[in-house]
Chains A and B, each alone.
Chain A
Amino acid sequence: DADVTQTPRNRITKTGKRIMLECSQTKGHDRMYWYRQDPGLGLRLIYYSFDVKDINKGEISDGYSVSRQAQAKFSLSLESAIPNQTALYFCATGPGANTGELFFGEGSRLTVL
Chain B
Amino acid sequence: KNEVEQSPQNLTAQEGEFITINCSYSVGISALHWLQQHPGGGIVSLFMLSSGKKKHGRLIATINIQEKHSSLHITASHPRDSAVYICAVLPPGNFNKFYFGSGTKLNVKP
Contact = CB atoms under 8 A, between A and B. Distances in A.
A30 to B, nearest CB: 10
A100 B103 contact: no
Nearest to B33: A102
B102 A40 contact: yes
Interface string A58-69: 100000000000
Contacts of B52: none
A44 to B, nearest CB: 8
B40 A106 contact: yes
Contacts of A109: 41
Question: Which size class do B's interface residues fall under?
Answer: 20 to 34
Contact of B97 (A45, A105, A107): A45
Nearest to A48: B96
A56 interface: yes
B2 to A, nearest CB: 8
A103 to B, nearest CB: 7
Contact of A104 (B31, B44, B99): B44
Nearest to B3: A42
A7 to B, nearest CB: 14
A109 B88 CA distance: 21
Interface string A37-57: 000111111001000000010
A101 interface: yes
A110 to B, nearest CB: 12
Interface of A: 31, 40-45, 48, 56, 58, 88, 90, 94, 99-107, 109
Smallest CB-CB A-B distances: 8 pairs: A42-B100, A100-B31, A106-B42, A107-B41, A104-B43, A100-B90, A43-B100, A42-B102
26 contacts: A31-B95, A40-B102, A42-B2, A42-B99, A42-B102, A43-B88, A43-B98, A45-B97, A48-B96, A58-B96, A88-B41, A90-B43, A100-B30, A100-B33, A100-B48, A100-B90, A100-B95, A100-B98, A101-B48, A102-B98, A103-B45, A104-B35, A104-B45, A106-B40, A107-B41, A107-B42
